[in-house]
């Protein structure tokens, strides 16, 4: 059961081979056994999870329920959950309990999924290694000395270690895809606007997008059916008819035009990663897909542009954490300024402070044009690159990250090196495009490698279909990390 797909779990539940309470108990026990080593969960509320499970069982007993009824799902601790604290991996919100549920949480509740717990993450989703969490780093189940990626590192590690069948994450510049790649699971960042941001603690509003992490592309499709959809409470939520994300899972790969950006197969990428991705592209070609060499000429500008725009927005988004209404508050403030200064000095970690400072700087009088405005212009150029590219191809393939999981602490002292690891994930974020990362083999150390497939706006079903075909012919995604055997 621990390694079963969502569809398998649903049919087991429907056939009464297992109850939701039993299934939930199984995963709670696995979390209890492994979380000490992995630190993938920040909060687990067994009573709440079992209550959800009992309600789902009652529903199933009446012959009701859908694809996710009674299935445990873990949520990144960035989604506001009523009754269970939402820390966002920060001391600032260490004891914050939201009085409302995020849209995504509501959707899973409506599908009668079980809320299994809240997963660890980089503080305010700011990081690519899950080392910036106030709750401590998450460890990679494939090698406990290594990072699982970030910021949705807890969700990725939890799925990889089979502590949960599936999890939610959020992706601003790669925060679903990169940890999915580094932890050997599948993760989808949907088109910007496909999943409501309501109740997701904001990092960079024009880039933040919720999405699922799971073992397989087929599972991601089922999760998307629950998560996605228009929400009037988010003005950037896109009004489109509901779609079935599973609809293309059986589609043939024949004739699929695969764009291979010159800039993604270049120096700076670890040789093992390049080799696995090339092998994977070759397999697609063997199935009738047609590789097309393309250029995304402004790729090298994507990281600097991203770090200007994302941090500008973040510096403003994080202003609300001022100690006045909720969250951490400095004790015995002398006056208002002292309250602000010490609350924020104590409540935020070093990386968050660094990003607030940079973001504040690029928006400042005299620098705005040179940084923020210029970055907006380049963002349009990067988007144009994709528009141009999708005239020649249907999807774009390449490595999700330039390397596999790195040792904890290896890049912690060098933020720029850490930021450069986002080079292949931030372009799709800047262009608002959907992108998936799926496991495509291992490097010489036995660490998972991720393949990224990027599609045009609203091409999620195409991405899921292509990835599913690949996973039907390979078992990388079903392999269980050696540190966390079943």
Partner 1 sequence: MTWEIVVGIETHAQLLTKSKIFSGASTAFGAAPNTQASAVDIALPGVLPVLNRRAVELAIRFGLAVGGQISRRSIFARKNYFYPDSPKGYQISQYELPIVQGGSLTIAVGDAAKNIRLTRAHLEEDAGKSLHEDFHGMSGIDLNRAGTPLLEIVSEPDLRGAAEAVAYAKTLHVLVRGIEICDGNMQEGSFRCDANVSVRRTGETRLGTRCEIKNLNSFRFMEQAIEFEAKRQIEILESGGKIVQETRLYDPDRDETRSMRTKEDAQDYRYFPDPDLLPLVITEGMIEEVRQTMPELPGAKRSRFEQIGVPTHTATTLTSNIDMARVFDDTTLYIRADPTMTPRQQTQAIVSAANTIVTSLSSKIDDWGAAIISWPNLSKQIGQIAIRVAQGTISSVAAKEVQDAVLTSDESVDDVIQRRGLQQISDAGALETLVDEVLAANAKQVADYRAGKDKAFNSLVGQVMKATRGKANPTQVNEILRRKLER
Of residues 83-102, those binding partner 1 (CB under 8 A): 86, 88, 93, 96, 98-100, 102
Residue 363: how many other CB atoms lie within 10 Å: 17
168 binds partner 1 (CB under 8 A): no
**Number of residues lying near partner 1 (CB under 8 A):** 43
Give 363 or 381: the residue with its C-beta nearer to partner 1. 363
Query: Buried (b) or exposed (e) across 155-194, using 16+ Cβ within 10 A?
Result: bbbbbbbbbbbbbbbbbbbbbbbbbbbbbbbbbbbbbbbb
Closest to partner 1 by CB, 124 or 245? 124
The reply on whether position 197 binds partner 1 by CB under 8 A is yes
Strands (E), 267-349: 290-294
Active site residue 128: no
Contact 118, 80 (CB under 8 A): no
Residues 232-271: x/- map of binding to partner 1 (CB under 8 A)? xxxxx-----------------------------------
Region from 28-36, 46-54, 183-191, 314-322 binding partner 1, contact rule CB under 8 A? 314-322
Task: At 24, list the tokens.
Answer: 């939930």
Handedness of CA 223, 307, 137, 414 (dihedral sign): positive
210 counts as binding partner 1 under rule CB under 8 A: no
Q: Give the residue from 374, 397, 161 showing the smallest Cα distance to 279.
A: 397
d(CA 469, CA 40): 30
Residue from 140, 184, 180 nearest 39 by CA: 140
Mark whether 175 is an active-site residue: yes
Of 128, 152, 175, 216, which residue is the catalytic one? 175
Helix (H) or strand (E) holding 119: strand 114-119
Closest to partner 1 by CB, 372 or 476: 372
Largest CA distance in the chain: 70
Please tell me whether residue 391 binds partner 1 under the rule CB under 8 A.
no
Q: Which one of the listed residues 19, 20, 49, 76 is annotated catalytic?
A: 76
Q: Looking at 210-218, 229-237, 379-387, 421-429, which segment touches partner 1 (CB under 8 A)?
A: 229-237
Classified as helix, coil or strand, 282 is helix
Residue 151: active-site member: yes
320 binds partner 1 (CB under 8 A): yes
- Cβ neighbors of 419 (< 8 A, separation 6 or more) are 128, 303, 307
SS (H, E, C) 165-181: CEEEEEECCCCCHHHHH
Nearer to partner 1, 125 or 303 (CB): 125
Cβ of residue 67: shortest distance to partner 1, in angstroms?
26
Chain center to CA of 67: 22
331 binds partner 1 (CB under 8 A): no
What is the footprint of partner 1 within residues 336-375 (CB under 8 A)?
Answer: 336, 340, 360, 363-365, 368, 372
The verdict on 305 binding partner 1 (CB under 8 A) reads no
Can you give the binding site for partner 1, defined by CB under 8 A? 79-80, 86, 88, 93, 96, 98-100, 102, 197-202, 204-206, 232-236, 312-313, 315-316, 318-320, 322, 324-326, 336, 340, 360, 363-365, 368, 372
- Which active-site residues does the annotation give? 76, 151, 175
């Amino acid at each position: 059961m621990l390694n079963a797909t969502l569809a398998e779990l649903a049919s087991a539940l429907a056939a009464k081979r297992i109850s939701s309470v039993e299934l939930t108990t199984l995963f709670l026990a696995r979390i209890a056994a492994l979380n000490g080593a992995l630190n993938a969960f920040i909060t687990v509320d067994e009573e709440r999870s079992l209550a959800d499970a009992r309600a789902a069982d009652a529903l199933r007993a009446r012959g009701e329920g859908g694809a996710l009824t009674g299935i445990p799902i873990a949520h990144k601790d960035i989604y506001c959950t009523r009754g269970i604290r939402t820390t966002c991996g920060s001391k600032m919100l260490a004891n914050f309990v939201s009085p409302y549920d995020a849209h995504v949480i509501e959707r899973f509740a409506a599908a009668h999924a079980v809320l299994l717990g809240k997963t660890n993450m980089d503080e305010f989703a700011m990081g690519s290694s899950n080392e910036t969490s106030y709750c401590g780093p998450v460890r990679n189940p494939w090698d406990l000395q290594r990072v699982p990626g970030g910021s949705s590192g807890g969700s990725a590690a939890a799925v990889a270690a089979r502590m949960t069948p599936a999890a939610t994450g959020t992706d601003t510049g790669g925060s679903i895809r990169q940890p999915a790649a580094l932890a050997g699971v599948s993760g989808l960042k949907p088109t910007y606007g496909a999943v409501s941001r309501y109740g997701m603690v904001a990092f960079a509003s024009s880039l933040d997008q919720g999405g699922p992490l799971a073992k397989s592309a087929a599972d991601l499709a089922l999760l998307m059916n629950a998560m996605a959809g228009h929400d009037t409470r988010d003005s950037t939520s896109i009004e489109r008819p509901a779609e079935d994300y599973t609809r293309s899972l059986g589609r043939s790969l024949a004739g699929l035009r695969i764009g291979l950006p010159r800039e993604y197969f270049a120096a700076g990428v670890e040789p093992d990663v390049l080799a696995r991705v090339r092998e994977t592209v070759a397999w697609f070609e063997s199935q009738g897909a047609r590789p097309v060499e393309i250029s995304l000429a402004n790729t090298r500008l994507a990281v600097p542009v991203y770090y200007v725009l994302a941090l500008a927005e973040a510096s403003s988004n994080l202003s609300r954490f001022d100690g006045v209404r909720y969250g951490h508050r400095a004790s015995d403030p002398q006056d208002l300024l002292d309250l602000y200064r010490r609350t924020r000095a104590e409540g935020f970690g070093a990386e968050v402070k660094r990003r607030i400072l940079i973001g504040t700087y690029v928006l400042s009088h005299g620098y705005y044009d040179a940084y923020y405005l210029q970055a907006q212009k380049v963002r349009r150029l990067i988007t144009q690159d994709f528009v141009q590219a999708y005239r020649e191809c249907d999807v774009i393939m390449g490595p999700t990250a330039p390397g596999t999981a790195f040792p904890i602490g290896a890049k912690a002292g060098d933020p720029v090196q850490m930021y450069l690891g986002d080079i292949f994930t931030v372009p799709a974020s800047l262009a608002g495009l959907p992108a998936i990362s799926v496991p495509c083999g291992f490097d010489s150390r036995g660490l998972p490698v991720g393949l990224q497939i990027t599609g045009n706006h609203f091409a999620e079903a195409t991405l899921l279909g292509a990835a599913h075909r690949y996973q039907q012919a390979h078992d990388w995604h079903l392999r269980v990390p050696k540190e966390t055997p079943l």
